[in-house]
Structure 1
Amino acid sequence: MMDTQCVTPSLKELERILYGGKRSGNHVDEVWPNLLLGDMSIANDRYSLWKLGISHVLNAAHGKAHCCGSHQFYGSCVEYYGVPADDSPSFNLAAYFQSCADYIHQVLNTPGARLLVHCAVGVSRSASLVIAYLMIQHRLPLLEAINTIKQRRWIFPNRGFLQQLRALDMKLHNTYMRRTEEVPLSVPL
């Protein structure tokens, strides 16, 4: 049930939470059932992807140096989806939140599918897209989405992405509140 007193944490508070805990990680971690978050090293290792059972790859650094995955690179065994995002606080990653959340949701609802979401290091661009997915498709508040991933992987979205995720959190909360208020109460006659 949605908390009607949901308050989006400040940017400073989010950075404090993200900075805590371990600050190193693996090349890849399963952060949600059949949803793996990783870096370019794992994304460029087709054998490891095969061993992990990866059927789909979402590259949040499409076309960037060392992250230039493609349909040709993965062949017919892996479906590829690329997002040409820069890891810059001024980059508008929010423009991709809904389409990527829809893609991730569609993949994870495909029997037997396993999805790798990656960027260069696997802590900012790709992590932001996975956070947005959890917020949009599973209605997790921003802090809960971050903590869900942090239990399994160290992440640190840049300040610009955190601001965009905060804006998404406030927008989704307001949308959920309006929907709750619009539901008519049935009154027995």
Structure 2
Amino acid sequence: MLHTRDSSSLTHGSSYETPSISDLQQLLWLRAGSDNHMDEVWPNIYLGDAWAARSKTILQGLNITHILNAADGPYSINTGAKYYADLEIEYYGVEAFDDPSFDLSIFFYDAANFICRALNSSGGKVFVHCAMGVSRSATLVLAFLMIHENMTLVDALKTVSAHRNICPNSGFLSQLRDLDIKLNEERNRTRAFATRGL
């Protein structure tokens, strides 16, 4: 069963601290998800691979309205908006490489906002993919859950990996860690301000 927005965070207390990279990697070793071509990892968010991205039959069958390709470009999964021209699909491509030295964080907010707009559109269902659906695309879904669903990185990892086996590379985990620290500081500041305002 998919998590609902109500169960988003068990670790929202002000005592939460972002775990180390090695602790985050250990969380990912507890593989409970699947290795399908595509899995629903959050209500109306599907995470998957290039095979699923090229299967218009599957996309139509699931009524996918938006696609976020985290491996866009001529040397990767070169589908692009034209590939889906015969379907009513809004397309967004991120030309990213699954390399720990690649800075995927520059796309975190734009990708998260695209996913958010997709979910808020009428009947919106978004498919986020890369080549394997475990590193680049998973990282962007995790960033969305942290930015728009107010989850900690730990909660986001647990939520997604309960439905799909994911494995963001060490560089992407480090970038998510930085985002987690920043968002946690913002939450603590907001809480402190709200407490003072009482």
In which range does the TM-score fall when normalised by the shorter chain? over 0.9
Of residues 19-28 and 91-100 in structure 1, the stretch that sits farther from structure 2 once superposed is 19-28
Match of 1:185 in 2: 197
1:40 to 50, 54, 67: 50
Q: Decide whether the 8 Å contact of 1:31 with 1:37 is kept in 2.
A: yes
Distance, in Å, in 2 between the alignment partners of 1:177 and 1:121 is: 36
Residues 1:112 and 2:116 aligned together = no
Give the Cα separation in 2 of the matches to 1:24 and 1:105. 24
**Deviation digits for residues 113-172 of structure 1 (CA, Å, limit 9, x no counterpart):** 111000000000000000000000011000100000011000000000000000000000
* 1:70 to partner: Cα distance: 1.0
Unaligned runs of 5+ in 1: none
1:20 aligns with 2:25: no
SS at match of 2:27: helix
SS of residue matched to 2:77: coil
Name the TM-score, length of structure 2 as normaliser.
0.90
Q: How many residues align?
A: 186
Does residue 94 of structure 2 align to residue 83 of structure 1? Answer: yes
| 8 Å contact from structure 1 (residues 40, 66) kept in 2 | no
Question: Aligned in 2, Cα 1:89/1:4: closer, same or farther, shift over 3 Å?
Answer: same
Alignment correspondent of 2:6: none
SS of residue in 1 equivalent to 2:46: strand
CA distance in 2, matches of 1:28, 1:165: 23
- Larger mean Cα displacement after TM superposition, 33-42 or 66-75: 66-75
Bigger-Rg structure (1/2): 1
- Identity, in percent, stands at 42
SS in 2 for 1:145: helix
Whether the 8 Å contact between 2:45 and 2:125 is mirrored in structure 1 is yes
Which of 94, 98, 112 is the matching residue for 1:101?
112
Are the counterparts in 1 of residues 33 and 161 from structure 2 also a CA contact under 8 Å?
no
Q: CA deviation at 1:9?
A: 1.1
Match of 1:143 among 132, 154, 172: 154
| Ranges of 4+ aligned residues in structure 1 off by more than 4 Å | none
Q: 1:148 to 1:64 in 2, by over 3 A?
A: farther
Q: Give the secondary-structure state (helix, strand or coil) at the position aligned to 2:163.
A: coil
